[in-house]
Homo-oligomer: A and B are copies of this chain.
Amino acid sequence: MKQIKTVGVLTGGGDCPGLNAVIRSIVKAGNACGLTTLGIKNGFGGLVNNEWTQLTAQDVSGILPRGGTILGTTNRDNPFHFPVADHEYADLSARAVTNLQQRGVEALIVIGGDGSLRIADEFRQKYNLAVIAVPKTIDNDLPGTERTFGFDTAISIAMEALDRLHTTAESHHRVMILEVMGRYAGWIALHAGVAGGADCILLPEIPFRISSVINKVRERQQQEKMFSIAVVAEGARLTGGSPVVARIVDGSPDRIRLGGIGNQLAQAVEEEGRIETRCTVLGHLQRGGSPTAYDRILATRYGVAAVNAVQDGEFGCMMALKNNRIVRVPIEQVAGKPANIPLDDDLIRAARAIGVCFGD
Contacts and interface: CB of A to CB of B under 8 A. Distances in A.
B284 A280 contact: yes
A297 B164 contact: no
A259 interface: yes
A293 B29 contact: no
A164 B288 contact: yes
* Interface-centre pick from A73, A152, A283, A347 (highest chain B CB count, 10 A): A283
Nearest to A29: B353
Contacts of A146: 324
Contact of A283 (B19, B192, B280): B280
Interface string A34-77: 00000000100000000000000110011011111100111100
A248 interface: no
A345 to B, nearest CB: 10
Interface residues of A, number: 91
Contacts of A14: 172
Interface stretch (A94-102, A114-122, A300-308): A300-308
A271 B29 CA distance: 31
A172 B72 CA distance: 6
Contact of A223 (B19, B24, B57, B323): B57
Interface in A1-48: 11, 14-15, 19, 24-25, 28-29, 31-32, 42
Given A346-B324, A350-B304, A297 B168 contact: no
B73 A300 contact: no
A304 B66 contact: no
Contacts of A343: none
A297 B194 contact: yes
A58 B301 CA distance: 33
B289 A280 contact: no
Given A64-B197, A165-B284, A283-B280, A19 B159 contact: no
A305 B157 CA distance: 26
A210 interface: no
A74 B74 CA distance: 41
A353 B32 contact: yes
Interface in A162-201: 163-168, 170-173, 176, 191-192, 194-197
Nearest to A158: B293
B161 A293 contact: no
* Interface-centre pick from A191, A279, A294 (highest chain B CB count, 10 A): A294
A258 interface: yes
Contacts of A224: 58
Contacts of A176: 284
A206 interface: no
B293 A159 contact: yes
A304 B67 contact: no
A287 interface: yes
Interface of A: 11, 14-15, 19, 24-25, 28-29, 31-32, 42, 57-58, 61-62, 64-69, 72-75, 146, 152, 155-157, 159-161, 163-168, 170-173, 176, 191-192, 194-197, 223-225, 257-259, 278-281, 283-285, 287-290, 292-294, 296-297, 300-301, 303-305, 307-308, 323-326, 346-347, 349-351, 353-355
25 contacts: A15-B172, A24-B354, A32-B354, A64-B196, A67-B168, A72-B172, A74-B173, A146-B324, A160-B289, A163-B289, A164-B287, A164-B288, A166-B288, A191-B297, A194-B300, A195-B297, A257-B258, A280-B283, A280-B284, A300-B350, A304-B349, A304-B354, A305-B350, A308-B353, A325-B346
